[in-house]
Amino acid sequence: MGAKFKISVEIVNDDGSITLEPIMVEKEIPSLQDFMVGENFRQNFDKYERAVLKARKEVVESATKGYLKEVSKKNSMSGRKNLNRKKL
């Protein structure tokens, strides 16, 4: 293997503010030279495809976890405000 595949995700609000900082995952993939040689194309493509799918899964899981963490923070703060209003 002689190349890297990088995939990143960031969540941005409509106003341009960042909800979640960029998350990047990097995986090793076969180099272009490996494909150009013509031998073991299927094996090289399988390695490439598996690396891409694994990277996508990892980055989406991390982004979802971070996003839900931010949502829970906002919901808990909102809930506290509502509790304070009810006491008055």
Sorted by where each begins, the domain ranges of the chain are 3-87
CA–CA distance from 65 to each of 9, 19, 27, 46 (Å)?
Answer: 12, 13, 20, 28
Per-residue pLDDT of the chain (88 residues), as tens digits, is: 589 999 999 999 899 988 888 999 999 999 998 888 877 889 999 999 999 999 999 999 999 999 999 888 877 776 655 555 555 5
What is the reported pTM?
Answer: 0.73
